[in-house]
Amino acid sequence: MESVPVIQLEDISKTYLMGAGHVNALRGITISVAPGEMAAIMGPSGSGKSTLLNVIGCLDRPTGGRYFLDGVNVSEMSKEQLARVRNKKIGFVFQGFNLLSRVTAAANVQLPLLYTDEKPQPNKKEIERRAMEALSWVGLKEYGHHLPTQLSGGQQQRVAIARALVNSPSIILADEPTGALDTRTGMEVMDVIQRLNLQKNITVIIVTHEFNIAQYCQRIIRVRDGRIQEDLRVDRPRVAAEDLKEMPVEVEE
Amino acid sequence: MRLAGNLGIALNGLRSNKLRSLLTVLGIVIGVAAVIVMIAVGQGARAKITSQIESMGSNLLMVFPEFSRGAVRGAGGSVNTLTRDDAEAIAMLPYVERVAPELSGNATLRYESQTWTAQVSGTTPDMQYVKNWAPQNGSFFSDRDISDNALVAVIGRTVADNLFPPGVNPVGRNIGINRLNFTVVGVLSAKGASIGGQEQDNVVYIPISTAQVRLFGVNNVRLINVQAQSSESMAFLQEAITNLLRERHRIPPNGANDFNIRNLEAVLATVEDTTRIMTLLLASVAGVSLLVGGIGIMNIMLVSVTERTREIGIRMAVGATETAILTQFLVEAVTLCLLGGIIGIMLGFLGSKLISALAGWPTAVTLSSVLLAVGFSAAVGIFFGYYPAKKAAGLNPIDALRFE
Ligand SMILES: Nc1ncnc2c1ncn2[C@@H]1O[C@H](COP(=O)(O)OP(=O)(O)OP(=O)(O)O)[C@@H](O)[C@H]1O
Ligand SMILES: [Mg+2]
């Protein structure tokens, strides 16, 4: 029943040269992720989670091994081609939100659309319409004209999610998306991500320290010292929307 | 990536950093303004000098007497080698359009109880064509007046204004010049100052015969104006006049000329060359300040790239290519420079006007100097913006994202 994997890593390694010595951040990672899957990557600090996610996101190139994204070998692509792949197929969500602080939420969401190579190029109106649609999807329809500093952490992270989904990517990659948020807000963000996965069928990979967060995924990949230590399927992942309902509103950390 | 989007991003960046943007472009503003003002001053001076020389008459050769051994010297220390016969002989040469000899001196004029001192110049009717200077009122005297030694005068604007009360038409009135009574037959149009700043309108023209015989009592002339048929024939004519006068004055082959021919076209060319060099010099001094301004832009762009490393990382993460980042920063630098350029042009324009108004120095802001300034500031933007932009585009997305 497995379809063609959206992500297929074959013996991926990544070595950083550091002055005299070198750091093996990834040492032969082989995994495949099916379309529509929602997976968590866990592991101790320094185990190579972020490095792995960056390789999957085409932000970084592996030093060894092969990587097929949607069946295409991206490990041999030029920087230019990788930028195009990121723009078209991948959405990032970071721990620190990484929004442009000087422009509005709407302008942040529009950013990927400015770099699209879609033909014909979407006009200003179309760009605004799609950004607004993405903002509404994360429940921030009314906040388009706010600056990031005028938004709470959770709201900022939802703007970042809107930005990640505005180009209709096939994958969304999130590096500790709840790391800077309190429990409830974190859960709200997880709810948005989970809905993205379930309703839009976007493949999601989340790097997290917290088992609570990993519980919402269908699969948990444990990494240690740049190797895969464990790759588990979760039979019945928790649903963030349900947990949110049970959570008393007043209680905060 | 669309240019409009880039421009928007760039303008936004500049707007959120108003003071810094302003200080950054100050160098460009001053540079461009200086270029504009300097060129305007240079061009204005050139235009004024050229028009002054041209107002003296086109294709004009001026023959002056000059002291040499054996030449006849007059009482006032002046040299008296040129005569009306010389002028008439010159008039017979080929390529000569017109000839107007002049004999002038200062004299006191009188109209009723009013007196005024002016230059009184004896000449022929051809003077009005040689100098392209027709009477505004009345007419010039005629050849007949010359053969008659007639007591008629054509007066300049300044004389008319100072000798006659307002509202009085000088034509037909009698004026006294050194005890002789002249009838005014014409009033010349105003001509303005000459190159040396001399007033040209404080003049009275009378028949040359009258001047020689009845007013000054001499038989030489002070100057012979010769108008050539074309500017091409001037060199030839200068040669022909030299030969003719040497022969007429019986100067031996090794003797020095007792006259001097001034070619106004040559003077004009020299003046134009000089002012062109002056303009170039002024403009290049101003250009140096543009260069300094450009370095300021580069400095700020480098700071800006460092400050915005994270922003660059974010843009790269969402799919900006190196080219897109390069373009963004280049557009920003060029926008800055053009903005400075535009402010500079406005300041330069005001500055030129101010110089015109305060110093009375003529200025001319030309389209070419504006285009030069705009082109130069855009070029400065591209040149000095390229390195920082290249630096931004060459960043590794991950390192850029991690940058604190
Ligand atoms: N740019 C780099 N240069 C050198 N070494 C690096 C670089 N980036 C990561 N490393 C090293 O690679 C290893 C894996 O780093 P990575 O950031 O992937 O860990 P991580 O699992 O995400 O840790 P954390 O949970 O703390 O975020 C670490 O030992 C780190 O020091
Ligand atoms: Mg990490």
A44 lines ligand 1 (CB under 6 A): no
Give the chain B residue whose CA is nearest to the CA of A166: B318
Q: Extract the tokens encoding B371.
A: 């285009």
CA torsion sign for B172, B176, B182, B185 is negative
Q: Extract the tokens encoding A47.
A: 């185990």
What's the pLDDT score for residue B78?
55
CA torsion sign for B385, B387, B393, B396 is negative
pTM: 0.72
Q: How confident is the model at residue B5 (pLDDT cuts 50, 70, 90)?
A: low
CB B214 within 8 A of CB B130: no
User: Which residue, by CA, sits nearest to atom 6 of ligand 1?
Assistant: A16
Q: Extract the tokens encoding B222.
A: 């002070």
d(CA B157, CA B137): 10
Contacts of A119 (CB under 8 A, 6+ apart): none
d(CA A132, CA A105): 10
d(CA B80, CA B67): 9
pLDDT digits (tens, 9 = 90+) for B296-351: 888 888 888 898 899 999 999 999 999 989 988 888 888 888 888 899 999 999 99
What's the pLDDT score for residue A2?
55
A169 lines ligand 1 (CB under 6 A): no
* Beta-bridge partner residues of A230: A222
A247 lines ligand 1 (CB under 6 A): no
pLDDT digits (tens, 9 = 90+) for A14-55: 999 888 889 999 999 999 999 999 999 999 999 999 999 999
DSSP letters spanning B35-62: HHHHHHHHHHHHHHHHHHHHHT-TTEEE
What's the pLDDT score for residue B28?
86
Tell me the shortest Cα–Cα distance from B40 to chain A, in angstroms: 42
Q: How far is CA B312 from CA A5, A78, A89, B394, B400, in A?
A: 31, 19, 20, 10, 7
User: Which residue, by CA, sits nearest to atom 31 of ligand 1?
Assistant: A46
What's the pLDDT score for residue B6?
67
Sketch the domain layout of chain B as residue ranges: 3-52+269-402, 95-230
B15 in contact with chain A, both atoms CB, cutoff 8 A:
no
Whether B1 sits inside 8 A of A83 (CB atoms) is no
Could you please state the CATH topology (level 3) that the domain comprising A36-49+84-243 is classified under: Rossmann fold (3.40.50)
What's the pLDDT score for residue A250?
59
DSSP letters spanning B89-154: HHHTSTTEEEEEEEEEEEEEEEETTEEEEEEEEEE-TTHHHHTT--EEEE----HHHHHTT--EEE
Span B48-53, average pLDDT: 76
Helix, strand, coil percent values for chain B (each to nearest 5): 55, 20, 25
B361 CB-contact burial (10 Å; exposed 0-12 / middle 13-18 / buried 19+): middle
Amino acid identity of residue A157, one-letter, is Q
State yes or no: pLDDT of B254 exceeds 90: no
Span A185-191, average pLDDT: 94
At B351, give phi and psi (nearest 5°). -60, -40
pLDDT digits (tens, 9 = 90+) for A99-122: 998 889 999 999 999 899 888 888
Question: What's the gap between Cα B159 and its chain centre?
Answer: 27
User: Which residue, by CA, sits nearest to atom 16 of ligand 1?
Assistant: A48
Q: How confident is the model at residue B76 (pLDDT cuts 50, 70, 90)?
A: very low
Higher-confidence position of A223 and B133: A223
Average pLDDT of chain B to the nearest whole number: 86
Give the chain B residue whose CA is nearest to the CA of A81: B321
State yes or no: pLDDT of B75 exceeds 60: no
Span A81-96, average pLDDT: 94
Q: Which residue do the tokens 């950093």 mark?
A: B17
Residue % of chain A over a pLDDT of 90: 82
CB B18 within 8 A of CB B336: no
Sketch the domain layout of chain A as residue ranges: 36-49+84-243
Q: How does A27-59 read in b/e, with b if 16+ C-beta sit within 10 Å?
A: bebebebbbbbbbbbbbeeebbbbbbbbbbbbb
What's the pLDDT score for residue B284?
83
CB B315 within 8 A of CB A111: yes
Span B376-400, average pLDDT: 89
d(CA B351, CA B30): 11
Question: Closest by alpha carbon to B101, among B220, B236, B244?
Answer: B220
Q: How confident is the model at residue B182 (pLDDT cuts 50, 70, 90)?
A: very high
A17 lines ligand 1 (CB under 6 A): no
Compute chain A's Rg from CA coordinates. Answer: 18
State yes or no: pLDDT of B185 exceeds 80: yes
Q: How confident is the model at residue B372 (pLDDT cuts 50, 70, 90)?
A: confident
Give the position, in ligand 1's atom list, of the atom nearest the Cα of B398: 1
pLDDT digits (tens, 9 = 90+) for B109-118: 999 989 999 9
Question: Closest by alpha carbon to B87, among B255, B261, B262, B241?
Answer: B241
For a ligand 1 pocket test, name from A12, A14, A15, A16 the mutation site with the most ligand atoms within 8 angstroms of its C-beta. Answer: A16
Q: How confident is the model at residue B272 (pLDDT cuts 50, 70, 90)?
A: confident
Instruction: Give the residue ranges of DSSP H helices in B173-263.
Output: 208-210, 234-248
Span A184-202, average pLDDT: 94
